[in-house]
Each structure stands twice: as C-alpha cells, then as structure tokens.
Chain A
C-alpha cells in the first residue's frame, strides 16, 4: 500500500477516534457534561492524537530509513572491488535502483506481468529495450549482478512496504485502543492532551537544532572526505585554482587563496559603497528629515532590500557590466583600457553595495533612534550645531551598534551568491585590479556542485570544504557582531 494511502487511513482513523472517544466520555458521565473532568472535546482530541501521532511518526521514520537499510543490505552483494570504492558503489547502487524502479513501473503500467518481471534473465530478455518502451532509459545494458541485486532490492522493498503497512496501522489501532479504553469520566484528558501538545511544541523548537546539526554534519563529513583525497595544506595555502574538467582525479589545483581573495575584494568594494551611503542616509532620515520625507524615503530604500538577488545579478550582468565596460574598457570613453569584459570584481561589488544600502541604513537607523533625546538636548544646550551633536555625541554612542551592523552587512556580502555568479566572472585570479574578473567562494560552490563531475571526486567535494569555510567565516562575523554590540553597548535608563 502506498504511503499516501496509509496516511489517509490514519487520518480517517483519528477523525473517527475523536467522535468515538468523545461519545464514550459523554456516555460514562451519563450525558451530563458537568460530571466530566475535562471538556468533552479533550477526550476526543486525546484519542485522535493517540491514533495519529505515533503512527505518523513511525511512518515518517520508516520512509526515511527503509531505502537506507535496503541500500546497505543489497550493496553487500556487490563485487568486492566495487564495494571498496565509495564512488563506484554509489554508481552501481544507482543502476540497481534504476532497474528496480523501472521494473516496478513497467508492472504498474501493464507492460509486464508480475511473474514476468520476477523471472527476467539477462540473456533471454532484452531488459534495456523493454524498459525503454515504457519510458525508462537505462544508461547501459543490464548485467547479471545488477539484475540479481535489483530483484533482491524489489523483494526487500515489497516486504518492507508490507511490514510498514501492517506495523503503522497496528500502532495506530493499538494506541487508539489504549486511549479509548482509558476514556472515562474521571480520566484527566485535558492534562494528557496538554502534555502531548507541549511535547509537540518542544519538538518543533528542536527543528532549529536539527537544522544546525544537519548543516554541520553534511559539511564536516564531506569536507573530511575531501581532505582524505586532497591535502589540506595545498587547499588552504594554494595560490592557483584550476580544477581539471575531466572530474576524475589528478591534475587539479584547488587552491583556496584566490577564491577568498576575490570574496574579500568584492565584499570590500560592496561595503565601500554601502557603508557611507547607508550611514549617511540613516543619519539624514533619523536626524534631519521631516516626517513626510521620512515616510516616503524609508520604505523606498527598503524596496531595495526586498528585491531578490537574482534581479541584482541580472542587473550586474546586463546593465552595470556593459556600462562600466563602456567607461573603463579598451574602447571605453575614458580610453583607459582597464577592463576587458563586463564581468568584474567592480561590477559585482558595486551592485552588491546597492543591495546592502538598506541593510546598513535600517539597522543604523534603529540604533541612532535608540540614542536618548536627552543626550541631543544636552549637546544643543552647550551650543553645538546639529552636525556637531551627531558627530561628537550620537555617533560615538551608537558606534558599537553601527559596527555590529557593518559586520552583519559584511557577512551578507561574503555569503552572497547570485550577484557574484552572474556579475563577477569565473576566472580565479589574485589580481589587484578591481576591473578584472574574479571569482568567489560562493560562485565556486555553485560551479563545482552543478558541474558534470562525479560526486566523489575531489573537484566536487571541494565545494563542501568551501562551504565549511564560508559557514565558519559568516558564523564568526555574526558572533563577533553580537559580542561587540553586547560588550560596548551604552546602557540608558
């Protein structure tokens, strides 16, 4: 039985359980609601939750675990040589799964009978052609082991599915039965339901922890895998980035330094645009602007923050890049010849700076507004002009917050992907010229993971090592920002 059916049955059971248990509770109180411990609906809810929650939890775990278990079991039947190499093993298993799924699909389409599918042989039937006829394209002809393992896989999946159906429905029924039997007028249904709800709430809150764990683990394991294939020292200290395109070992130079150089260079250009513009906008809006001006300009600036980064990327690639090229390029108006293509560190940095303006300005605006009015009044009372008050009183008071905001903006800039993928170019270079194409950590994560390389080659796995460094850098910046804000914040009563 497919999982969606089991799900529906459990839901129907829960709904029925609600009505039944509520009725039983009312009956046990002789139809008088006042003699019940809890409101009648709590008895129903209790039974419904008992029927649904454990069964659906089991179903979810089963859905995730079963493919892994059968994978593990079936792959032990592969030849030793293939098993030894993780890459070949996953390829072979993908073939097995494909054949198995293909056979199941052919049976469901009526192109094969069940017995026929179970008794196929490599020599007598042309499996590739028959599966091709129902739309399952196989990469190569099926060999003896693959077919055997595929049949084994199908059997396991079938047995697993049967056990799953029986077990989930059994759990739902048993748990509902227990809850139903407990339902009586003195049963403390509300307390039980509330405890269960609280557990569900805690579980939801733990999703955040699970996500972090997921991120850390998926990065760490693959990064370690990478370092077992490629020396860590060469990665961190290498000055050339030249992955071989064959994607199969050897010849690749995966130096991290040009990438981090490009990342930092572009981020610094972006901050050089965003920080002065954002900061002065924030100062003007919070200290000088009249109310109507503020109520128009502030939302307009924040529109910049709501625009998706792909739009900025396209803007960089198709508008800003050609514009810069026509000014600084070889045939440009200024006749400088600094730029040879539209995609450059400057293009990406400039556009990223535009994107960060509202980020810096709205954070700084909040911080400047939180400086108490009494400090301004004191300064005016001593005869300071408005700008002197801002420079000598307000900015020093707001400085920790502003530095925090700038660090957060920097972490945004370092982690930004789409603008650099489209605007910065693909060549990794350790150049000082901002008009030259550069590439960043994020851009290379995308290109290494979307390329055609095999998954277990260092060329692909390097993306995880890059992701790890990116994660660590942005995390450190965020923690530093929070720490500065907490440590140096002025407390006003």
Chain B
C-alpha cells in the first residue's frame, strides 16, 4: 500500500506535488477508484452467493415438509353383513364391494372417534367428517380386506392418510382463513383436527410412500410419490450409460489417436462442438421425429428418453474423454511402440487404462447432466399422469410409459393444487440428493485415481 498519510510530513512545509508522503488529489482519486473496483468484485460475488443461498433455502424450506405426512389412527369396524353379504368369504364376492362401499364404515368410525375424544363440534355427520381423510382411504381399507378376508367381522386399527388440507394445516401451509374459500374442507373441521391431535389420533410421521410410491391423480396430492419416476430415471440412465460410454470413448479414441489431419476429421470435430451447444429442446424434437415418428418406438418409454439423452450427452463425454486421453503423456505411447506393440495395442493396453479415471469422471458428470434434463422428455411424452404403477419386469421397465424425476417435478409444478408444490420441492430434494451423490463419486474418483504427469 502506498497511501501513507500526510500526518507524518512536517506541517510547516507546503507539500510537494506527487510526494510519496503526501497523497495528491489525483492519487486519492486513483486509490478510491481502486477500492471501488475491488468492492464491485466483492459485491458481485456476494450477490452470487446470496442467490445460491436463497435458492438452497427455498428448496430446503419448501421441500422438507414433503417428507412427513399426516395420518389418522382410527378403529374401524368391518361388519360382515356389509362387506360379505353371502358370508362365504369368496374373494370374487368381496371384490364386488367397491371403494365407495367402505366410505360409510369410515364415516361411522370417525363419528365414534370424535365423540370418544370428547370433541364438541357442529359437524356431526360422519360423511362430512370423512373430508378430513384422503379419498384414498377407502381403497386402503379395501386392499386390507381383500388381502386378508379374516379381518371381516372384527374391529381393526387403521392408519389412514389424512387429506391434503389437514396435512397442510399440520404443516402450517393451510389456515382457517384460506379454508374459508375452500370447498374441500371448512374451518370447523380444523377444530376437530385440533381435538384429535390432542387425543393422539392424528400425527405426522416420515413419508416413505413419497419416496417409493407412484404418482396420484390431481385430487389426491397426499398420495403422490416419486418412486415410479425414480425407476423411470434409472432405466433411462441405464440406456444412456450403456450407449454413451462405449460410443463416446470409441469416438474419442479415434479422434485423438488415429484420425488423420484431414477435412473429414475436421468435419466430425466441428459437428461435435456444435452439438455440445445445441439447446436441449432441439434434441427433444430430434427424439420425437426420429425415434417416435420415424422408427415407431413406443411413446413415453424410458428407452426413447434414454436414446434421446444419449445423443445429448455424447458431446460432453467425447470432450472430457479426449481431454483425459490427451493428458496421458506421449512417452507412454512411445514406450509401448518401442517394445513392439502395435498402435492399437498401445492405445487399448496402456493409454486407455491410464485415462480411465478421467473418462469415468467425465461420464458420471455427463450422466448427472442427463439426469436433471427435462425439456427433451416433455417432447417425447414422458410427462402427464403416467407414472402410476411400477413396471412389471425389466423389458416393460424400458418400454412401458413412464415418467422421470425432473418430468414428474414439472408435472407437479403445473398442477393447480398448492399441496402439489410441496411435493415438487420435495422431489427436487430427492433429485439433488442423486446429483450430489453422483458428483461426489466423480470427485472421489478424481482425487483417488487422478495422476499428474
């Protein structure tokens, strides 16, 4: 620092212009400009960090509630005369009682639970109280009965999904004011909910079905889960890995080790660098036109998604693979050639193994990029209410319509019910956990195996 102050200069002498001891106006200006410039940099970085913090804060704050879910514990009587009129426990006859047939049982049980808990409320009708539970509750009961007909005629304890409004109230998303305009639940219900919470009938627990379950229809956000979409993403990544790694590595080996300097090689290289900059949605159009329109592959299938993403990821993998091949010093190749290896042997036996950690790192990063990509998937139809059941078997995993994690998040973000927004944020947490894991593996691989020559 050159800004010594004039305090040390003798006061009697008029300071000389430009002295090191005295800061002239010009120097002051220049130093001020220097400090300002530096400040701009600090401000820019702070704003960047602030955005990052805001983004992460929004994700965590809005997404964490999706990982807990409100359940209501109710004792439900399963009378034989309603569920099994013929009394022979024949599964065919049991099946005839539809989901709606179970609703009166739930309503009666709710009335009893509420009166036992000593809650005074204007809502006395059980079917009105039924609104506090998910519309999936009937199906839950029916599944239990069909799985084990012996429970008929007994009273069983059930943990039933609460409706998304009750769930939102427990999480602070819904309050009495917002319910005033809501046809699904009234503020009076919340008084009952408060009473049931005190009685211990309503509680929140970790939401495994959100991680393992399937998508649900628009009116049942409390039931929707990411499981099937995760599986769809998994099958897609399998396709991407199996295709893009060998093709990408082979293409890079050719371009880096064998390709002669000519127009054809230049053309390939220009193509690759251009493809790396093509917007992802254009790859979606390509997938739609080539794989679905032209080759008649099934729409919405993870296979098609995987093929499309493969083409999108290839340039990334080629670029990183070429960099790691280039990092292997020529002395390795020369030594191999010197002891009589052919060019091909020197590459496959010596250069490639040494470049492998770098190649794998690049591949994992490319896969992570593909995993988070949404736009091409929308065009090949992997969005909508499709991730509803698990594929049965490996072949149908590739060929049956499915969604993928980012597409599922997009689907939820589009739905009108705010309860789905919470699911979307929660889905983002799951997606980011996957991405983080992949990137950590890539970093560890690099730390552990990377060699500096």
Contact = CB atoms under 8 A, between A and B. Distances in A.
B34 A385 contact: yes
A414 B279 contact: yes
Contacts of B272: 208
A237 to B, nearest CB: 24
Interface stretch (A142-150, A159-167, A428-436, A444-452): A444-452
A449 B381 CA distance: 9
Contact of A211 (B275, B277, B432): B275
Interface string B347-390: 00000000000000000000010011111001101010000000
Contacts of A416: 279
Interface in A60-81: 64, 67-68, 71
B44 A311 contact: no
Interface residues of A, number: 92
A356 to B, nearest CB: 11
B18 to A, nearest CB: 11
A133 to B, nearest CB: 17
A488 interface: no
A197 B281 contact: no
A297 B56 CA distance: 16
A313 interface: yes
B424 interface: yes
A388 B48 CA distance: 25
Contacts of B51: 304, 354, 357
Interface in B52-101: 52, 54-55, 58-59, 62
B441 to A, nearest CB: 14
Contacts, number: 262
Contact of B435 (A221, A306, A446, A470): A306
Contact of A311 (B48, B271, B428): B428
Interface residues of B, number: 86
A310 B374 contact: yes
A99 interface: no
A415 B280 contact: yes
B279 A284 contact: no
B45 interface: yes
Given A281-B45, A317-B413, A208 B275 contact: yes
A67 B413 contact: no
A418 interface: yes
A392 to B, nearest CB: 12
A390 interface: yes
Nearest to B376: A417
A268 B368 CA distance: 29
A49 to B, nearest CB: 13
Contacts of B311: 207, 211, 214
A309 B55 CA distance: 12
A283 interface: yes
A415 B281 contact: yes
Nearest to A422: B413
A478 B281 contact: no
B318 interface: yes
Interface in B231-256: 246-248, 250-251, 253-255
Given A211-B286, A218-B285, A318-B421, A415 B254 contact: no
B268 interface: yes
Nearest to A4: B395
Interface string B252-282: 0111001100000001100111110111111
B267 A442 contact: no
B117 to A, nearest CB: 36
Contacts of B271: 208-209, 211-212
Contacts of B406: 308, 310
A207 B247 contact: yes
B30 to A, nearest CB: 6
Interface string A458-480: 00000110010011001100100
Nearest to A90: B293
Contacts of A408: 277
A301 B41 CA distance: 14
B285 A446 contact: no
Contacts of B409: 310, 314
A201 B279 contact: no
A201 B251 contact: yes
Contacts of A285: 41, 45
A152 interface: no
Nearest to B422: A318
27 contacts: A68-B294, A190-B342, A194-B344, A198-B258, A201-B251, A201-B253, A211-B271, A211-B275, A214-B311, A281-B41, A283-B41, A284-B40, A288-B38, A288-B41, A301-B52, A309-B375, A313-B410, A354-B51, A358-B48, A408-B277, A412-B279, A415-B279, A416-B279, A417-B374, A450-B378, A471-B279, A478-B274
4 closest A-B pairs by CB? A415-B279, A284-B41, A308-B372, A218-B289
Given A201-B254, A284-B41, A387-B38, 20 more contacts: A198-B344, A201-B251, A208-B268, A215-B278, A218-B289, A284-B45, A285-B41, A304-B48, A308-B435, A309-B374, A318-B425, A319-B62, A357-B51, A391-B37, A417-B374, A442-B281, A445-B281, A467-B282, A474-B278, A478-B277
